[in-house]
């Protein structure tokens, strides 16, 4: 097994595989991260609370990581996925299954992560490509707290193989064929989580957060429908499940960004001290552009975009959201 990406989420998924006695190699673009994993069996930079099994080793060499891999798990931040996989593609074993656990929409191209992988690796890999998503904080997965996720793929047989590769008594996997719906839910929930954090940072209560989650899900559903996804997917783990977790959980980096924005801090200052990637910041721009491309109304996403990229005050964003023309649900 090979895991590309040694951030918190990549490390947690590598631990799930290695705990099942699968010989697993995790690739890190930072040599020092790979060294600390090999020397101390811990990722001190991104997941310091988790002791990693001896069946997991790390490398800075992508060719070494991919050599002989039967399953390649891609956990690269959305903005780096194309570059990393362009370098790695010649080393991906011909028959290896691929599982993307990256969440986001590529800026400029507005491609989902599966679309980026197909664009880089070629459409011949589509039957072997799956996508994993759902309500799953890396820290809790690494601590073996019961977690449920969904694995989506166009090929039922390959999807079931990946589903069983990850499944444990603490990490339950469901199968789906709706790759588009699973990906859209996993990407856009990060934008709504920033909005929920802004609400919390402004001192608003449960009413406000519940409204944001519900109307945020409506926005996500509209995009999913335009992209041909099954709307029912958004009622499941990759939709409502991940959305609720990210909008309410203390471990949510995107919610944290929103909280600090609501308190009046600048985005640059927040990101400089965060220490981890908050996918929602970049995805907000992609989602805003995608809403215009598709002609989909996304008022919450629009206000988050204006807060992040046009320095709009969070207080004014709330006023503008609440004073929009009344409509039917």
Catalytic residue list: 189
- Residue 121's nearest CA partner among 72, 165, 164 is 72
- Residue 9's nearest CA partner among 112, 101, 88, 90 is 101
As a whole number of angstroms, the distance between CA 273 and CA 291 comes to: 30
Q: Which two tokens stand for residue 51?
A: 């002791």
For the chain, strand residue ranges (E) read: 2-4, 24-27, 56-59, 71-74, 97-100, 129-133, 147-153, 171-176
HSE-CB of 205 using CA atoms within 13 angstroms: 1
As a whole number of angstroms, the distance between CA 218 and CA 298 comes to: 9
String of DSSP letters for 24-61: EEEE-SSHHHHHHHHHHSSBTTTBTT-PPPTTEEEES-
As a whole number of angstroms, the distance between CA 40 and CA 329 comes to: 54
């Amino acid at each position: 097994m090979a895991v590309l990406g040694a951030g918190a989420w990549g490390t947690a998924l590598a631990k799930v595989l290695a705990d099942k006695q699968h010989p697993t190699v995790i690739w890190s673009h930072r040599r020092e991260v790979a060294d600390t994993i090999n020397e101390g069996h811990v990722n001190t930079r991104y997941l310091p609370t988790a002791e990693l099994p001896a069946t997991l080793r790390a490398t800075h060499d992508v060719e070494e990581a991919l050599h002989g891999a039967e399953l390649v798990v891609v956990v690269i931040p959305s903005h780096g996925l194309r570059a990393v996989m362009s370098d790695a593609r010649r080393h991906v074993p011909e028959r290896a299954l691929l599982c993307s656990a990256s969440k986001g929409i590529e800026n400029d191209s507005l491609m989902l992560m599966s679309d980026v992988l197909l664009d880089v690796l070629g459409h011949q890999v589509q039957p072997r490509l799956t996508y994993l998503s759902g309500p799953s904080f890396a820290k809790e997965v690494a601590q073996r707290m019961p977690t449920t996720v969904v694995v989506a793929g166009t090929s039922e047989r390959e999807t079931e193989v990946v589903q069983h590769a990850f499944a444990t008594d603490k990490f339950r996997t469901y199968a789906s064929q709706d790759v588009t719906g699973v990906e859209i839910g996993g990407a856009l929930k990060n934008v709504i989580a920033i909005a929920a954090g802004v609400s919390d940072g402004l001192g608003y209560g449960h009413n406000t957060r519940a409204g944001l989650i519900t109307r945020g899900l409506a926005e996500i559903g509209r995009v999913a429908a335009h992209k041909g996804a099954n709307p029912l997917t958004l009622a499941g783990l990759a939709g409502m499940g991940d959305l609720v977790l990210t909008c309410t959980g203390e471990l949510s980096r995107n919610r944290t960004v929103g909280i600090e924005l609501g308190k009046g801090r600048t985005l640059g200052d927040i990101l400089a001290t965060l220490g981890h990637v908050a996918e929602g910041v970049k995805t907000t721009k992609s989602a805003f552009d995608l809403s215009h491309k598709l002609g989909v109304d996304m008022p919450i996403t629009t206000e988050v975009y204006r807060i992040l990229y046009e320095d709009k005050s969070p207080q004014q964003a709330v006023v503008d959201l609440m004073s929009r023309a009344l409509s039917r649900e």
